[in-house]
Structure 1
Amino acid sequence: MINNIYLTKTGCFGYTDQQLALDNTFFLSYDLVESWVKKYQLQEDQTKDFTEELKGVRYRVHLFCSKRGWNAALRLLPSKILSFDELGVSSDDVLSVCRGTGLTLFCGPTGAGKSTTMNTVIDSLLNSGELGVTITIEDPVEYLHHKDMIFQREVGTKVKDFKTGLVDAVRANPTTIVIGEIRDAETALEAVRAGLNGHRVLATLHASSIKESISRLWAFLDEQGDELLVQSLQGIVAQHLIHITDKKKYCLYESLEVDGKVKNILNQVLDHNSQLTLNACDLRQKNRTTLVEKKQKLIIDGIDETLLNCIRK
């Protein structure tokens, strides 16, 4: 199975972790790249992210220009929203940090499956009747939800940017707001405010761990915003994908419910301007699952420890 496909002037190639794979890319040509550049009227210093359906398969596309000309990186999107069992993730671990109001973060490096897990949560809450009216702000829209109560807005086509989409969403007063990615300070602050206003806010963030996700948001915000974040946070899920073979992956994840005990620890960090330390001893609780614990379980199950050492604890 091809995980990524690249279209360049010199040809088309796809890769997995193990080998090049070209079998399913015969219909892709550089003409597609040129047509996309023309469609979006891109200049050489611009990039573009969007989704495209080709031969019945949906792709996330990233257009960019290099010294060799325009190029496209395509990533295959699942044809359906996966279940928790298919993800290899405990529904209890994840749903426990998403059921109330406030901000829940889904963190990990690029390609870790953050959006996939978040959309599985959306689908699960929808099926249980907990989701309510939902507005998403995404760039681009990766997973399609076909229920009338879910309104998906794409940045660049249906809304100007994430901040504008968030402000608009709060005015519409939905139960749930979904943010495709928190990329800047303005989006971070509006996400925090939306959580404090009584909305369930689900968002992805590029960070490798729970600790790093909090530190990164604090870096986005000013002193007042840091305090608001502690009040707004409902929970965090951090994950990594480990590619064992061409077709086999393991999701290594940790989750944290930000309850009163956790909020007190975070407030103490802010009050004393001290280093943020989140560890299993300080935060041991029913809904706390650590990356180290997951790593140990995979080792017990027979996964090569050298494959796991690439994941930062």
Structure 2
Amino acid sequence: MDQQTFIKLLAFGIERGVSDIHFEVGYPPHYRLHGELLGAIKVAPLAASDTEAIARLILGARAEGMDFNRPFGEIDVSYSLASRGRFRASIFRQRGTVGIVLRLIPIDVVDIDSLNLPPVITEIADSRRGLILVTGATGNGKSTTIAAMMRYINETRHAHIITVEDPIEFLFKPGKCMIIQREVGTDTESFKDALVAALRQDPDVIMVGEIREKETAATCLKAAETGHLVVSAIHTPDAVATIQRYVGMFESDSQDIVRERLGDCLQAIISLRLLIGKEGRSRIPAVEILRVTRTIRECIRQARLQEIPDLVRKGRDLYSMQLFDQHLLDLVSADLISMESAIYASSNPEEFERQLRLE
């Protein structure tokens, strides 16, 4: 595949508003549009030489000397198409050939209101210290939500923001803040190295692209404990699972101490599930929001996590917290999503159906 054809395929995806583009041997290019994966009708199935050529186009000079016929580690890089769009590229081997998945990253960072996120997220972003975690499955808007929060901070306060990403996704424009963006593998060896260095670089806000392992989790805790605001993503379905996952990254003999530390510095957990809008042409976020009150801090410290969902439910009016099922009811009432989509996405489908009937 030549560069002109590749650019046309990317441009087509940008124009249609897709979220991801897949290049796999034996299939035509596939586009994910509003959650559905659709094949390009007028493009022939790709050969091994096509996907290898695409990988070389994405990697540029970094591909020199690479033999794609031999095993290689997964490669995550960013790729830009002039001023039209940016992509996060995942390049890998499957069945002895090269596969590529590109995630489209908008040129402009969208604001919190335009993403249909609850207004309380601006209050959460106003935090001056502590740990904020944005969670959800892949493709459910974690990076976009964090970027919107960084944009809000950049527009509302004078601060120094350091981001550590693998790879860099959204590019932030100059605003009230000074922003440093570092990419793992290009600007720094690892998340841990960049975070340790960041503590010596006078930050107010540290944004970590993703917490994947114990070292990053430990350094994020340390940064939050020393008076910085730390915002990061983690692959978990809801607030309680996020706390369990965070503590579970550490050895069993240190988990009690980590639970104490997390209880002290955690500010909020924002969990996301993207749903197809009722008209079928948009995606609507269902959002669970945990804000850490004194009572919830004690629940985290004492491992009484089973009490947290009820505290979130009861804290809706006073603290603007909400469970997924509470927000899903709102979205159905506002005619933004169908009842079927809401039931499918609910945490407790039987109880949710009962609530729908009562509504």
TM-score with structure 2 setting the length: 0.78
Pick from 100, 106, 115 the counterpart of residue 78 of structure 1.
106
Report the Cα distance in structure 2 between the residues aligned to 1:289 and 1:51, rounded to whole angstroms: 35
Report the Cα distance in structure 1 between the residues aligned to 2:99 and 2:280, rounded to whole angstroms: 25
- SS of 2:307's equivalent in the other structure is coil
Q: Partner residue of 2:293? A: 259
How much does 1:310 deviate? Answer: 2.9
Unaligned regions of 5+ residues in structure 1, if any? none
Q: How does 1:51-200 map to 2 (within 5 A)?
A: 51-54=78-81, 56-91=84-119, 93-98=120-125, 99-129=127-157, 132-147=159-174, 149-200=178-229
How much does 1:35 deviate? Answer: 4.3
Deviation track 1:119-152 (CA, whole Å, cap 9, x = no partner) reads 111111111115x101110011110013271000
After superposition, the Cα gap between the structure-2 partners of 1:246 and 1:48, relative to the gap in structure 1 and judged at 3 Å, is: farther
How much does 1:246 deviate? Answer: 5.3
1:65–1:71 Cα contact (<8 Å) kept: yes
Report the Cα distance in structure 1 between the residues aligned to 2:163 and 2:242, rounded to whole angstroms: 21
Look up the equivalent residue of 1:278 and give its one-letter code.
I
Larger mean CA deviation between 199-208 and 36-45 belongs to 36-45
Where does structure 1 differ by over 3 angstroms across 4 or more consecutive aligned residues? 21-26, 34-38, 40-43, 274-277, 280-283
Determine what percentage of the aligned residue pairs are the same residue: 24
Structure showing greater radius of gyration is 2
Q: Partner residue of 1:12? A: 29
2:259–2:300 Cα contact (<8 Å) kept: no
Look up the equivalent residue of 1:258 and give its one-letter code.
V
Report the Cα distance in structure 1 between the residues aligned to 2:39 and 2:114, rounded to whole angstroms: 24
Of Structure 1 and Structure 2, the greater helix share is in 2
**How many residues of Structure 1 are paired with residues of Structure 2 in the alignment?**
306
Q: How does 1:18-37 map to 2 (within 5 A)?
A: 18=36, 20=38, 22=40, 30=51, 31-36=53-58
Report the Cα distance in structure 1 between the residues aligned to 2:128 and 2:55, rounded to whole angstroms: 43
After superposition, the Cα gap between the structure-2 partners of 1:25 and 1:128, relative to the gap in structure 1 and judged at 3 Å, is: farther
TM-score with structure 1 setting the length: 0.89
**2:55 corresponds to 1:39:** no
- SS of 1:109's equivalent in the other structure is coil
Unaligned regions of 5+ residues in structure 2, if any? 1-15, 348-359
Report the Cα distance in structure 2 between the residues aligned to 1:89 and 1:15, rounded to whole angstroms: 22
- SS of 1:160's equivalent in the other structure is coil
Q: Partner residue of 1:201? A: 230
Deviation track 1:249-270 (CA, whole Å, cap 9, x = no partner) reads 110002122132211222232x
How much does 1:281 deviate? Answer: 4.0
Q: CA RMSD in A?
A: 2.4
Look up the equivalent residue of 1:32 and give its one-letter code.
I
2:259–2:301 Cα contact (<8 Å) kept: no
Larger mean CA deviation between 31-40 and 96-105 belongs to 31-40
Look up the equivalent residue of 2:320 and give its one-letter code.
N
Report the Cα distance in structure 1 between the residues aligned to 2:88 and 2:37, rounded to whole angstroms: 21
After superposition, the Cα gap between the structure-2 partners of 1:19 and 1:156, relative to the gap in structure 1 and judged at 3 Å, is: closer
Look up the equivalent residue of 1:291 and give its one-letter code.
F
